[in-house]
Amino acid sequence: MTNSIRIHDTFWGSVRETVRREGIPYQWKALNDQLPGAEPSYCMRNFRIASGKEQGKHGGCVFQDSDVAKWLEGVAYTLAWHPDEELERIADGAIDDIVAAQQSDGYLDTYYIINGLDKRWTNLRDHHELYCAGHMLEAAVAYYNVTGKRKLLDAMLRLVDHIDSVFGPEEGKLKGYPGHPVLEMALMRLYDVTHDEKHLKLAKYFVDQRGQSPLYFDQEQDICGWLNGTLGYSYYQAHKPVREQEDAVGHAVRALYLYAGMADVARETGDAELAAACDRLWNSVTRKRMYITGAVGSSEYGEAFTFDYDLPNDTVYGESCASIALVFFARRMLRARQLGEYADVMERALYNGVLSGMQLDGKRFFYVNPLEVLPEACEKDQHKRHVKPERQPWFGCACCPPNIIRLYASLEDYIYTVTEDALYMNLYLAHDAALDVGSAKAAVSVETNYPWDGKVAVTMTEGTAGRFKLALRVPGWCAKHTLTVNGDAADVQVVNGYAVIERDWQAGDTVVLDLAMPVTVMRANPKVYEDAGKVTVMRGPIVYCLEECDNGKDLHLVHLCTDRTGDAVAHHEPELLGGVTVIDIPGYRELDEDWGGALYAPYAAAKREDVTLRWVPYYAWGNRGLGEMRVWCMKGHSRK
């Protein structure tokens, strides 16, 4: 049996069709500077200049090459589930332009090819050569896996050989490592294809070398500002060797890309010490430094983690790429150990922290994903200027849009973890799959209306043969569930977040998992200073928010009645925001009294009016015009 997965899900099918029909062609125009009114990308132009096809100077950021790499990776995944000859022709042309710029020794980075090869590898800390190589390598592997075409893969193999000749523990080689990680996990993806020990060895070297004394970055010139501020080398996760790191620190995307690579290396090599470091860092991120939406990286300064429970809502950074990187880390932790908490976090980020980063039409994006927005403050408060009250058509630093594209185009890779004797279902979406589980064969059809409904029906279809374990995740948010096998109630113990059923499966066997999805009012750990006295709402995996267009202005004056949560009503609105379930809950609003021009006055109980608060999925906010938004609101009680 050849492993295959075909998604036909209503929820994710809509998202992915938007990615395919709108997002990919829109971003191709952006990469070629063809979006009127948007910041120019310069990306493809740089490759044509580097190859001598055009004349000019390098444009954009030093890491501009990575934008087209992520776009190509997204294209590759899309071609796997929707073949498109014209799109493949465009992608092949982009690859031609990229490969034409490659140097005879394998080096490929347009910034240095255009500005002077004599300076290459002199600023690993800040100039992203290894970062760009990593993203291009991931694109090459994906494009080869889907199309079988080797042009980009062979070019990247030459680049990897060049990098291997420059870096390593051997005498005469540079003892450096990426300032911005990603090459580590890219090399592990290449190793999955080539099984060449050289690629595993190089990935392990970059992981092991980081933070070692003498610190390589100290030998480089052009010291940047981060080293003089509060972050220092923790910005690069190079403040100490990775096996000694205990807290998630520094630039959030760099950190999580690194942790993902560490998890891959630890799993493949059986390195228990490195795996223990991954566990510590996972716990630091998800138990003390992650927003309820799956956003990470709370500080605009350095796009960074700060300290435990520091999770401000209005100045949050929460870069889309950081939530994507958290998904990558979670998936790799799942490959090592099948613990439901990894899939819980992966799901949280996919449905909330990442999905919020793209407009429903696929043509506008958030770089920063706030949990509270007052449009006037975004415009007039310098400390909140990084927060945008509306998604943007493009960015000068456009790492997030193509990252979103490649993630959602590749959802097939996140549904299952397959071991020698078990099929772990991590995500619930309608699909058909044919998978080898050791010597057994699993042909599976899944039907569900998740995330709006918690019923998941799993049917074994023709081609199923053999004995294996089917492990269905019972999400951490679910307090009650039922499970039947062929219509009979099954008392199946939940182990590590999964209900595991082992049997000799046959075509026609059906397992139905029904996850209770009540409206749940959530609170934050009291140590989260910003959320004291506040609550928010979840239903299933979806985090909800309040918007001005539903609840009026001055959202800071509304309170949710925590003694009336039993009166919450969830109902599906098929014509709203692409089809969403909204939640109505009793609350009240403090009335704005006539203060007569005074700024302060003696305390008196505020007058109030009872209201019904309308909550909508957080991921869909900002699609109905400019206005206030809040995830967390004040809690209160109804009138006695």
At residue 535, does pLDDT exceed 80? yes
Give the pTM.
Answer: 0.97
Catalytic residue among 43, 61, 132, 399: 399
Structure confidence at residue 491 (pLDDT): 86
Q: What confidence tens digit (pLDDT) does each residue in 310-340 have?
A: 999 999 999 999 999 999 999 999 999 999 9
At residue 64, does pLDDT exceed 80? yes
Q: Rounded to 5 degrees, what are φ and ψ at 286?
A: -85, -20
Give the tokens for residue 37. 């009114």
**CB-based contact 127:179 (threshold 8 Å):** yes
Mean predicted confidence (pLDDT) in 134-159: 98
Name the strands in the sheet holding 498-504, side by side, starting at the edge strand that comes first in the sequence. 416-418, 422-425, 467-473, 498-504, 494-495
What CA–CA distance (Å, rounded) separates 498 from 475? 8
At residue 552, does pLDDT exceed 70? yes
State yes or no: cis peptide before 312, omega within 30 of 0.
no
What CA–CA distance (Å, rounded) separates 637 from 559? 8
Structure confidence at residue 441 (pLDDT): 97
Is 303 an active-site residue?
A: yes
- N-term to C-term CA, the chain: 65
Structure confidence at residue 55 (pLDDT): 97
Structure confidence at residue 38 (pLDDT): 86
Q: What confidence tens digit (pLDDT) does each residue in 467-522 have?
A: 999 999 999 999 999 999 999 999 899 999 999 999 999 999 999 999 999 999 99
State yes or no: cis peptide before 451, omega within 30 of 0.
yes
Mean predicted confidence (pLDDT) in 86-110: 98
Structure confidence at residue 2 (pLDDT): 62
All domains of the chain, ordered by start, with CATH? 21-412 (1.50.10), 419-515 (2.60.420), 520-636 (no CATH)
Is 321 an active-site residue?
A: no
Mean predicted confidence (pLDDT) in 175-201: 98
Catalytic residue among 73, 129, 220, 303: 303
At residue 108, does pLDDT exceed 90? yes
Structure confidence at residue 37 (pLDDT): 86
